[in-house]
Each structure stands twice: as structure tokens, then as C-alpha cells.
Amino acid sequence: VYGSDACLMAMAEVAAEMKDSVEMFVGSQEVEPGQGWPYSTWMRRWASNPTATAAEVSTYLTEEFTKSYDGGIYGHSDVTFSAMDLTQFPAFFSALKDLNASLANLSPSDMRATKSLADATQEFYLSDYKDIFDFVDRLQSSKVGIQSSILSNLKDAVQKMVISVESTDSYANSHGISVWLPTDVGTLNRHKTRYSNLELNKQTKWLDFLTLVNR
């Protein structure tokens, strides 16, 4: 298990860099409050089941983190937390690659509509960090010309990869995995060179869509 007691780390791009090294990845899509993880309550729960699997330990942390900020030992703060099974990345890559290919064929009007949907998607402290499931869900509810099966396949892949996700009420549209989804060309241009070298982009060519949607 790799756990990130830091901010904004539950991103597909971050997790993809570790997919060949660890089985589980845990972290927050949002900024974490200063107190960080509730180590005491999490460790007590783990100690009560010392033979817990990696998935179980990851789920314990997801649940205890959110409880600690939802009236628990750290009071009240808006938080998200999730655990991912990185062995599911091949299916996620394949589904995202299929979506990317479909997005590339959109008409100009559908591309503008897609950009508006991206703007409306659940975001976090950095507005270009978006929840991928929420984005796809909005596409599926729209009239944008993408096959529903392509969108359903990606949603299924996300649900299989995210084994546990918890959030406070402010993040009802948080489903456990963020992606980079800038909707202004300035942000895209500042980071696209470095982004092009990330494993997620190498596997899916996601940057191709980001370039098209920001024309």
C-alpha cells in the first residue's frame, strides 16, 4: 500500500506512476486539513485485525479519515479520501483511451458543449483537477455525440479501481479519482510539456483531447 498524507494526490496521473510498484494507493482528491491522517483511530482498527489485507487496511483508512473530520477527533472540515486498486489500471487506461478517441471526433459545437461540461465538473482546490467519473457522468447525461457504451465502460473501470471512497457532504460528486482537465489554454500551455511524459498520457494520449478542447 502506498499512502499519501498530502494534498490533491488521488489523481489518476499520480497513481499511474506507481502502478508497477504497489497494489493499493490511498489519498485525497482535495486539500487535506493540517491535522492530516487520524493515525490513532486507524491503527487501532488495523490492530483489531492484524491479518487484514491491503484492500482492508486501505478501506479502514478511507473510512477513519473521513469520520475524523465529520464530527470526529478533528472536528468538522470538508474532506475526500479514497483507495484505489492499481491492478485495475489496464482497464482504466483502455477505457480512457477509447473516450479520448471518441472526443477527438466531436463536432465543434459538441466540443464547446464538452468544455462547458468540464467547467461544471466537480473540482477541487485547483480548478483544473476534476473528478473523472463526474465528468463522464455529465457527458452521458448530455446530448454530446459519444457512444453511451464508451462512457459506461469508463465509469465501470473507475468503480472497479476505486475500492473505497468517502467524502463529506460538500463533495457529493467526488468518486475517488481526479484527472487533469484544464479548460483554459494558459494553464494547458504552462504544463503540457511535462504532462506529455506522464505514464497516463503515454497510455491514453489524454493530452490530445486537452489540446482540442482548449483551442
Convert the pLDDT of each residue in 126-162 to its tens digit. Answer: 999 999 999 999 999 998 999 999 999 999 999 999 9
Q: What is the pLDDT of residue 44?
A: 96
Burial of 169 (C-beta count, 10 Å sphere; 0-12/13-18/19+): exposed
Q: What is the pLDDT of residue 58?
A: 97
Distances (CA, A) of 163 to 18, 87, 158: 17, 11, 9
pTM: 0.94
Q: What is the pLDDT of residue 164?
A: 98
72: Cα within 13 Å, side-chain hemisphere: 18
Quickly list DSSP for 154-186: HHHHHHHHEEEEEE-GGGTT--S-EEE---SHH
Confidence band for 205, pLDDT divided at 50, 70 and 90: very high
Q: In what order do the strands lie in the sheet with 162-167?
A: 2-3, 24-27, 80-85, 162-167
* Gap between the Cα atoms of 83 and 101, Å rounded: 28
Confidence band for 173, pLDDT divided at 50, 70 and 90: very high
Strand partners, 123: 130
Confidence band for 37, pLDDT divided at 50, 70 and 90: very high
Q: What is the pLDDT of residues 95-127, one digit of tens each?
A: 999 999 999 999 999 999 999 999 999 999 999
Q: What is the pLDDT of residue 97?
A: 98
Read off the pLDDT of each residue in 162-185 and give the average, rounded to a whole number: 96
**Strands 24-27 vs 2-3: parallel, antiparallel or unpaired:** parallel
Q: What is the pLDDT of residue 199?
A: 98
* Mean confidence (pLDDT) of the chain: 96
